[in-house]
Amino acid sequence: MVNYAINKITLRQRLREYKKKPISFLLLLIVGLAALFSATALVFIIIYIIIMGVPHLTPDLFALKYNSDNVSCMPAIINTLIITVLTLIISVPFGIGSAIYLVEYAKRGNKFVKVIRTMAETLSGIPSIVYGLFGMLFFVTALHWRISLLAGAFTLAIMVLPTIMRTTEEALITVPDSYREGSFGLGAGKLRTIIKIILPSAMPGILAGIILAVGRIAGETAALLYTSGSATGTVSSIMDSGRTLAIHMYVLANEGLHTDQAWGTAVVLLILVLVINTLSAFIAKKLSSKN
């Protein structure tokens, strides 16, 4: 008795099929090449950065104090973390809050909701240098915050707010109405339903938005140039100016004297973003498996 799987298509069968339909073979070739090209481009960039950067990851680059010889990126790492956390503290509550309003409280099909949605979409399309200019004129000059981490964080918060709001909104919309009905049907109020049922189910989607935001924050330069500036020292308060890793890289490359260290910094930035993303993905998995 034969025991091989009869539903398994062999390579020869497949080739015979394609011989009959050359167009579909061509299509397979095209999409296959497209996938290969995309993957190669990504892998090439990463390998290139690593090859160029890793040899320059000297202890000097991680010295606690910056000077113009070691061009240490340590203060920049710390500033990046501070700015990321500050920005999220400001933008996440507003982003999630407004999404909750739009999905759970505003009447469906409300004009106001549509206006807010269009505005959010427009905001997320504005080039970041425009946010930088606004931050400089408003936070730095008009509010007299001077060039500081706080001004930078607020600027970035406005920049990533639409991203967080829209992804949270999408995540809330995908929570089935049957969960809401079930909760209301047991006599739970709106607040309890949102906190205990809806937000936990939407959590993976919300976290995906936050991860996206973290990526933008860590990689941003234009919006920070005129708001948190490029001071080299370690900050003593959030009212001080300080450069993030991306700015540090920008300045090093711009001056043309420390291109090697700029590559090193690029590796550090790459690793930092990777660590933050892995960590967030891990948290997301933990949170969703708990449910």
Partner 1 sequence: MDKFTIKNMNLYYGDFHALKNVELNMQEKRITAFIGPSGCGKSTLLKSLNRMNDLVEGCKITGDIKLNGEDIYGSMDVNILRKRVGMVFQKANPFPMSVYDNIAFGPRTHGIKNKRELDRIVEETLRDAAIWDELKDRLKKSALGLSGGQQQRLCIARALAVKPEVLLMDEATSALDPVSTGKIEELCLRLKDKYTIIMVTHNMQQALRISDKTAFFLLGEMIEYNDTDLIFSSPQDKRTEEYITGRFG
Q: Interface with partner 1 by CB under 8 A: which residues?
A: 107-108, 176, 178-189, 192, 196-197, 200-201, 291
Q: Where are the alpha helices (DSSP H) in 54-139?
A: 74-100, 111-125, 128-135
Let me know: does 220 contact 153? Beta carbons within 8 Å.
Answer: no
Least distance in angstroms from the C-beta of 178 to partner 1 = 4
Q: How many whole angstroms separate alpha carbon 9 and alpha carbon 88?
A: 51
By C-beta, is 104 or 170 nearer to partner 1? Answer: 104
Let me know: does 156 contact 94? Beta carbons within 8 Å.
Answer: no
Least distance in angstroms from the C-beta of 173 to partner 1 = 16
By C-beta, is 14 or 196 nearer to partner 1? Answer: 196
Q: How many whole angstroms separate alpha carbon 77 and alpha carbon 249?
A: 11
Least distance in angstroms from the C-beta of 104 to partner 1 = 11
By C-beta, is 125 or 189 nearer to partner 1? Answer: 189
Amino acid residing at 40: T
By C-beta, is 121 or 181 nearer to partner 1? Answer: 181
Least distance in angstroms from the C-beta of 186 to partner 1 = 4
First to last CA, the chain: 47
Least distance in angstroms from the C-beta of 103 to partner 1 = 14
By C-beta, is 94 or 184 nearer to partner 1? Answer: 184
3-state secondary structure 244-287: CHHHHHHHHHHHCCCHHHHHHHHHHHHHHHHHHHHHHHHHHHHH
Chain length of the chain = 291
By C-beta, is 25 or 184 nearer to partner 1? Answer: 184
Rg, the chain, Cα only: 25
Least distance in angstroms from the C-beta of 201 to partner 1 = 5
In this structure, what token pair is assigned to residue 195? 């906190």
Q: How many whole angstroms separate alpha carbon 212 and alpha carbon 46?
A: 19
By C-beta, is 101 or 179 nearer to partner 1? Answer: 179
Least distance in angstroms from the C-beta of 205 to partner 1 = 13
* CA dist list (Å): 276 to 39, 50, 76, 213, 284: 22, 19, 16, 11, 12
